[in-house]
Chains A and B, each alone.
Chain A
């Protein structure tokens, strides 16, 4: 019988109204000139000054979150090193460095593009840098599929575990608003009153149940099913298609784009309402974004009463 897959840990850094200075509007108020919420990048910027720019701020945060996740789970760096661990990221816009490089080329010509910044200008740089840092040798990929990216990453991680490619996967989803992504999103928010976007990074640990149990973890939520459906945007003249019905758990009002779906999973797992009625089955839909009509459903149930 196939080993179950469990989500044995989750972490999230999400920009929110709680982090805004008191004079800024709240999330449910009109935003006016404040359509974007940023994470605190102070630590990454301090690191950049001392480490000769080895990290981008996304790769810095991913390394930091993996370190925090290890502390949370009691896993060591040695535990996740080697081919038994995979790493996957999902993001709508990916790494801003990819686009910043074009702007530097336009401003400064060929001298504006150096080998280090070019090496960082791939959407897989954060996972590659983390794989090198932590010795991860399992499968590593970067999905960039708009609003569903984080949940796509979750599905791909599930594929890897079910296909026996590795025994645990670190699943990351992020959005980072450096130029020109920030300019683009600010312009988009202006066309939709009340719309706001937030930076976030979410990290989940998926494991085969037997692997989690072997280190004493029992009762972790089981990932039961994931379905990826795509309803294409209606063509001109056609009627909009009704999205399929899905019970949505999305308590946040800010749009975290490709990180939103995985953030909803994190929120669900950390909600006091979850698991109160024993075994439960939840569904999460990735938040829709303009230009993306990908939606994903997953099922999660608490296993405490099953073990």
Chain B
């Protein structure tokens, strides 16, 4: 059994952007300059800025949803643990028209570290013993919160495999729907920035102190972000039967490791993942008009990624590539999910998002999605790539639902 899978709902929370309209505006305008996150002190670090969502905005939006009768009984620990994810899932589920949640809807959630173990550790070090939400300390806690809040009782799984986590979750969700284990899966990522992760990237000297400039000659590193992106994916026949409109089709997924180094990517893994995705989708490289890259803005990543792309899209100079991390920041485990949403928005609008922070573009054999470039997509078939610590790679192919053969 292998069913066609489509997206029927999207939801997003990013810095300064709750909901799709605000997110579209963020991608188009670039948003405010990065700033220190609200919920921990970065003054002792070399780099001090981030693209953090304001947790107060998220909590207020959730309380507003409670007042409107869309949610009920959210606890403070649930909001701290998975508030961004609850908000994004609420938007996605409403867009998908799931006013009553059917039985058997599954949930696959990506996370960087997950859960409230840091809070537990703080309480332990302060001699306060167990926290008031001991069930929410595991990495899977956000997935469990979403399943509880939205009554999801189908397959449930959580992934934490560095920056490829979201594509791992998407791969799992795709398999569940394709195989008939579930008609609908709620899938994506949810992350609240951790001081420890900030400290780690600071120690690696992988963060730019000013801003993130993917594929820029002067790029110096990444800018951490947080938030959530959740998608409702569904068997196409199931969506049509209930009158839901497919937004895009998910046609191919590739996964591969490069077996090279813990923090330094090698292009061969991503090349293999892209080829696997193309094969599964039944597409040729020439069918792809846009690639949303991992594009962290670190010298190593962007160079390796451009080399990997050249291994698949050789001579295809009109291929538009971009990274949206210059606008959203790097959401780590959730990065793939929010970038899938950005990719879907590009596919729907027919135009790639501009790389507003890239002022001195790197010489790559493709068309960088710079503000002044023609960013019009030539076909309705696009690709989203993610790379993770430890040489993990994922590639996803998305198509307009009515694209057919090219």
Q: Is A184's CB within 8 Å of the partner chain B? A: yes
Q: Is B276's CB within 8 Å of the partner chain A? A: yes
Q: Is A109's CB within 8 Å of the partner chain B? A: yes
Secondary structure class of chain A's binding surface, majority of residues: mixed
CA distance A172 to B162 in the complex (A): 18
Whether B134 and A291, one on each chain, are in contact in the complex, defined by CB atoms closer than 8 angstroms, is: yes
Q: B114 contacts which chain A residues (CB < 8 A)?
A: 94, 144
Q: Is B181's CB within 8 Å of the partner chain A? A: yes
Q: B136 contacts which chain A residues (CB < 8 A)?
A: 291
Q: Known: A113-B199, A131-B259, A137-B269. Contact between A124 and B181, CB under 8 A?
A: no
Q: Known: A105-B195, A105-B196, A132-B261. Contact between A180 and B120, CB under 8 A?
A: yes
From B139-147, B298-306, B346-354, give the one contacting chain A. B139-147
Q: For chain A residues 264-302, which have a beta carbon within 8 Å of chain B? A: 290-292, 294
Cβ-closest chain A residue relative to B44: A110
Q: Known: A109-B44, A110-B199. Contact between A132 and B139, CB under 8 A?
A: no
Whether A230 and B73, one on each chain, are in contact in the complex, defined by CB atoms closer than 8 angstroms, is: no
Q: Is A142's CB within 8 Å of the partner chain B? A: yes
Whether A187 and B129, one on each chain, are in contact in the complex, defined by CB atoms closer than 8 angstroms, is: yes
Cβ-closest chain B residue relative to A190: B130
CA distance A231 to B138 in the complex (A): 18
Whether B262 and A125, one on each chain, are in contact in the complex, defined by CB atoms closer than 8 angstroms, is: yes
CA distance A292 to B121 in the complex (A): 21
Contact with B along A212-228 (1 / 0, CB 8 A): 00000000000000011
Q: A232 contacts which chain B residues (CB < 8 A)?
A: 147-148, 151-153
Q: B175 contacts which chain A residues (CB < 8 A)?
A: 156, 159, 163
Return the contact of B259 from the options A93, A105, A135 (Cβ within 8 A): A135
Q: Is A143's CB within 8 Å of the partner chain B? A: yes
Contact with A along B332-372 (1 / 0, CB 8 A): 00000000000000000000000000000000000000000
Q: Known: A83-B256, A124-B161. Contact between A110 and B390, CB under 8 A?
A: no
Q: For chain B residues 49-101, which have a beta carbon within 8 Å of chain A? A: 73
Q: How large is the interface on A (under 10, 10 to 19, 20 to 34, 35 or more residues)?
A: 35 or more
CA distance A180 to B151 in the complex (A): 31
CA distance A196 to B148 in the complex (A): 27
Q: Known: A140-B161, A292-B144. Contact between A128 and B390, CB under 8 A?
A: yes
Q: B140 contacts which chain A residues (CB < 8 A)?
A: 92, 144-146, 149, 292
CA distance A146 to B138 in the complex (A): 7
Q: Is A183's CB within 8 Å of the partner chain B? A: yes
Question: Distance (Å) between the CB of A120 and the closest chain B CB?
Answer: 8
From A25-33, A62-70, A95-103, give the one contacting chain B. A95-103
Whether B161 and A99, one on each chain, are in contact in the complex, defined by CB atoms closer than 8 angstroms, is: no
Whether B159 and A144, one on each chain, are in contact in the complex, defined by CB atoms closer than 8 angstroms, is: yes
Whether B196 and A101, one on each chain, are in contact in the complex, defined by CB atoms closer than 8 angstroms, is: yes
Q: Known: A140-B390, A143-B157. Contact between A102 and B196, CB under 8 A?
A: yes
Q: Is B260's CB within 8 Å of the partner chain A? A: yes
Question: Distance (Å) between the CB of A92 and the closest chain B CB?
Answer: 6
CA distance A105 to B200 in the complex (A): 10
Q: Is B35's CB within 8 Å of the partner chain A? A: no
Contact with A along B191-222 (1 / 0, CB 8 A): 00011100111111000000000000000000
Contact with A along B103-139 (1 / 0, CB 8 A): 0001100010110011011101100011000111111
Question: Distance (Å) between the CB of B156 and the closest chain A CB?
Answer: 4
Question: Which residues of B are in contact with A by a Cβ distance under 8 Å?
Answer: 44-46, 73, 106-107, 111, 113-114, 117-118, 120-122, 124-125, 129-130, 134-140, 143-144, 147-148, 151-162, 164, 168, 171-172, 175-176, 179, 181, 194-196, 199-204, 254-263, 268-269, 272, 276, 280, 388-392
Question: Which residues of A are in contact with B by a Cβ distance under 8 Å?
Answer: 81, 83, 86-87, 92-94, 98-99, 101-103, 105-107, 109-110, 112-115, 118-119, 121-125, 127-129, 131-132, 134-146, 148-149, 152, 156, 159-160, 162-163, 165, 180-181, 183-184, 187-188, 227-233, 235-236, 290-292, 294
25 pairs from A and B in contact (CB 8 Å cutoff): A102-B195, A113-B196, A115-B200, A122-B162, A124-B160, A124-B161, A136-B257, A138-B257, A139-B256, A140-B255, A141-B161, A141-B164, A144-B140, A144-B160, A145-B157, A145-B158, A146-B138, A156-B175, A165-B254, A228-B176, A229-B153, A229-B154, A230-B153, A230-B156, A232-B151
Additional 8 contacts, C-beta under 8 A, given A99-B121, A128-B262, A235-B148: A81-B259, A110-B202, A128-B389, A137-B259, A138-B257, A144-B159, A180-B120, A184-B137
